[in-house]
Amino acid sequence: MTAAVFWQLVLGFGAISLVSVGGGIAVLPEMHRLVVEVHGWMSDADFAQRFALAQAAPGPNVLVVGLFGWHVGGVAGMLTATLAMTLPTSFLAFAFSRLRTRLAGRFWLRVVERGLVPIAVGLIGASGLILAQGTATGWVPVVLTACSTVFVWRTDFSPLWVLGAGALVGLAFL
C-alpha cells in the first residue's frame, strides 16, 4: 500500500464516518462511490460480494470497510480503513457520553433519551426486514426467518440455537 492510497483511505472513510448518522451501513452508497467510482479500487461485483460476506459474518456491520481496506492494501489496508471509519466518531461519542453523565437526570435530557427509543427499536426492526428480504429466495428461508422470529420473541433461550438450526436447514434444503 502506497502512502497516497493510505491517505485516500484515511480521508475517504474518515469523511464518510462523520456523516454516517443512523449507523455505518447508512452510508453504503457513499462507500460505493469512494471505492468503486472515485478510485476504481474494485468492481461492482467485488463490492457486492464483500458486502454479502461481511453481512454473513458476525460482528458490527460496519466492518465491511475492513474488507474494502483488505482488498486495497491487505492487513494494513484493513486496519487503516477500519480505524478511519471508527476513530473520529468514537471521540465524539465519548465526549457526548461525558456530557450525558454530567447532565444526567435533567428533565429535557430524559425527554430526548426517551424520545429516541422508538427510533432505535424501529430501526432494529427495519434492519431485520431488510435482512429477511435479502435472504428470501424461496419458501424455506421465509419459514426459517418466521420460526426464528417467534422463537426469539417468545422464548428466552439463546438465539444461537436458531442460528445452528438455520445452518442445518440451509445445508439440507438450500
Partner 1 sequence: MTEPDPPPRPVPTLLDLFLTYGRIGLIGFGGINAWARRVLVEEKRWLTDQEYAETLGLGQVLPGPNALNAAIMVGDRFHGTAGAIVGPGAMFGGPLLLLAGLAMFYDAYGDVPAVKAVLAGVAAAAAGMVLGTAAKMTQKIRPPPALLAVGLCALLAAGVFRVPLPYVVLGLAPFGILGAWRALSAK
Is 106 a residue that touches partner 1 (CB under 8 A)? no
Is 75 a residue that touches partner 1 (CB under 8 A)? yes
Ranges within 145-174 binding partner 1 (CB under 8 A): 145-154, 156, 158-160, 162-163, 165-171, 173-174
Task: For partner 1, give the closer residue by CB, 4 or 59.
Answer: 59
Smallest gap from residue 44 Cβ to partner 1 (A):
17
Asked whether the beta carbons of 117 and 111 are under 8 A apart, the reply is no
Binding mask 111-150 for partner 1 (x = CB under 8 A): xxxxxxxxxxxxxxxxxxxxxx-xxxx--xxx-xxxxxxx
Q: Which amino acid is at 50?
A: R
What the block records as the C-alpha cell of 80 is 487503516
Residue of 66, 72, 77, 84 that binds partner 1 (CB under 8 A): 66
Q: How far apart are CA 24 and CA 138, in angstroms?
A: 29
Residue of 2, 37, 59, 139 that binds partner 1 (CB under 8 A): 59
Distance, first Cα to last Cα, the chain: 40
Q: How far apart are CA 103 and CA 44, in angstroms?
A: 46
SS3 state of residue 160 = helix
